[in-house]
């Protein structure tokens, strides 16, 4: 398993290939639907004016995302009352919901990795080549195991979005993932979809 440290350089990103297992170490940030929508509307397309702590949060997350990683994750977190936060479960959530936003977010913040499950579509794959960045597939159904890779919760932003949708800044060590979309236009998910389509067409063409 290849060890990769966050922040990640463009050279390292371009050296990663589909199918390669990776252990990530460093600081990453979680972000799901609410976060991506907020980023796009407030700072990229600017269809809404910054409100409340928006600008403060933006300035705080920019250096984290520079060369950084966004994890599609709605964690289970203990210590909410005392603010002694600890990830109890940290499994990946389905990534395709962020397909309209992901490439633009990665480009804007110069982020280098996305972690999730299920893969993403052609717009994100094109962004992987242009930014560049890669998509890391995390193990579905292993939320407790993955949480063991989270050494420390460093902070949280946009807590008003709710615990699963907030941006949790976490320090991880040997976080296990597999590259399934790389910076060279390769997507394991697209291959699986294509093969599945062929099998389905074959089954449908058979006489009953």
- Ranges of beta strands (E only) in the chain are 2-5, 21-30, 69-71, 76-78, 86-89, 113-116, 134-137, 150-157, 167-181
Along the chain (208 residues), what's the average pLDDT of each consecutive run of 10 residues?
Answer: 97 97 98 97 97 97 98 96 95 95 98 96 97 94 88 97 97 96 88 45 55
**What's the rounded Cα separation, in Å, for the pair 95 and 128?**
15
Peptide bond preceding 12 in cis form (omega within 30 of 0): no
How confident is the model at residue 196, as a pLDDT? 38
72 is catalytic: no
| CATH value at residue 83 | 3.20.130.10
Name the DSSP letter for residue 138.
Answer: P
How confident is the model at residue 192, as a pLDDT? 45
Q: Of the residues 36, 72, 137, 189, which is catalytic?
A: 36
How confident is the model at residue 179, as a pLDDT? 96
Q: How many domains does the chain have?
A: 1
**What's the rounded Cα separation, in Å, for the pair 143 and 158?**
23
Range of the domain at 112: 2-205
């Amino acid at each position: 398993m290849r060890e990769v440290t966050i922040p990640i350089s463009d050279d390292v990103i371009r050296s990663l290939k589909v199918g390669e297992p990776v252990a990530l170490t460093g600081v990453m940030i979680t972000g799901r639907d609410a976060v991506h929508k907020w980023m796009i509307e407030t700072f990229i397309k600017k269809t809404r004016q910054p409100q409340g702590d928006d600008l403060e949060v933006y300035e705080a997350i920019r250096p984290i995302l520079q060369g950084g990683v966004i994890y599609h994750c709605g964690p289970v977190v203990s210590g909410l009352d005392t603010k002694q936060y600890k990830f109890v479960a940290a499994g990946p959530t389905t990534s395709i919901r962020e397909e309209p936003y992901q490439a633009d977010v990665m480009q804007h913040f110069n982020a280098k990795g996305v972690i999730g499950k299920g893969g993403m579509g052609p717009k994100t794959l094109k962004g992987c080549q242009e930014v560049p960045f890669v998509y890391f597939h995390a193990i579905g159904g292993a939320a407790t195991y993955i949480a063991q890779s989270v050494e420390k919760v460093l902070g949280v932003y946009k807590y008003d979005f709710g615990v699963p949708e907030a941006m949790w800044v976490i320090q991880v060590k040997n976080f296990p993932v597999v590259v399934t979309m790389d910076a060279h236009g390769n997507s394991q998910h697209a291959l699986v979809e294509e093969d599945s389509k062929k099998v389905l067409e074959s089954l449908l063409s058979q006489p009953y």
